[in-house]
Amino acid sequence: MGLMNGFLNILTNKQRNSDCLLREYIFYKIVNYNKKLDKYLLQCINTKATFLVRLNDIISDEDILHRLHPIQACYVGIEYAISIKKNKPSVVYSDKMMGSYSYCRYGTFSLRHQDRKKNLCFVDLKTQNEFLMDPRDIALSEHFIIEFDAIQAFYIGLLAGFKMNTSTMLYKKRNNNPRLVLIKR
């Protein structure tokens, strides 16, 4: 009887937490880029359903952007920064879009602020340690970027893309080892 009650408790807890678990899933992945159409092929995870979408459509649809993997969301941010530098975008990303998905679904890092040198301060939610890093270093380090939520990874990619476009020669000459600074309290 104890085993059966334990099993039923697990099932009922799963039903109660189903809404919480739904927001933890990554629903989309970028599969391909069609250069002729200037569209990305997105696939719904665990299905064969695919659809073509432009970069501006990904950015304007918060649900798609929020349900990408952090590495792919960072890539979208970098590509969006490059498109902004090349020409005027039809969709302007706003910092207010980050607020609607401000809860952290997964990962242990959360953005805090940006300093005047355009470095990002983020906090480790487990240890409460604050770190200061260049957004390019965060975006290019898989170890760091997967610990952020997708919307925050997009924002990091956006800032990294702006810095990469303006100072690519300086960045190539620089040492490519990421620099992590611990902020003492």
Domain segments of the chain: what residues? 69-183
What is 77-105 written as a DSSP string? HHHHHHHHHHS--SS---THHHHHT-S--
pLDDT tens digits for 142-176?
889 999 999 999 999 999 999 885 544 444 555 56
pLDDT, position 161 = 92
pLDDT, position 63 = 84
Written as six digits, the tokens of 37 are: 């159409």
pLDDT, position 159 = 93
Give the residue from 63, 64, 24 showing the smallest Cα distance to 40.
64
Give the residue from 69, 45, 61, 64 showing the smallest Cα distance to 147.
69
Q: Is the pLDDT of residue 16 over 60?
A: no
Q: What's the pTM?
A: 0.72
Give the residue from 103, 47, 109, 48 showing the smallest Cα distance to 74.
109
Q: Which comes out higher in pLDDT, residue 102 or 40? A: 40
Average pLDDT over residues 41-70: 88
Residues 127 and 138 sit within 8 Å (Cβ to Cβ): no
pLDDT tens digits for 123-138?
998 999 999 999 999 9
Where does the chain show beta strands of DSSP type E?
28-34, 39-44, 50-53, 109-114, 120-124, 130-133, 181-183
Which band of pLDDT confidence, cut at 50, 70 and 90, is reported for residue 54? very high
pLDDT tens digits for 60-115?
888 888 889 999 999 999 999 988 888 865 555 555 454 444 555 667 898 998 99
Give the residue from 142, 145, 140, 122 showing the smallest Cα distance to 132.
122
Written as six digits, the tokens of 120 are: 């990002």
Residues 139 and 178 sit within 8 Å (Cβ to Cβ): no
pLDDT, position 86 = 83
Which band of pLDDT confidence, cut at 50, 70 and 90, is reported for residue 121? very high
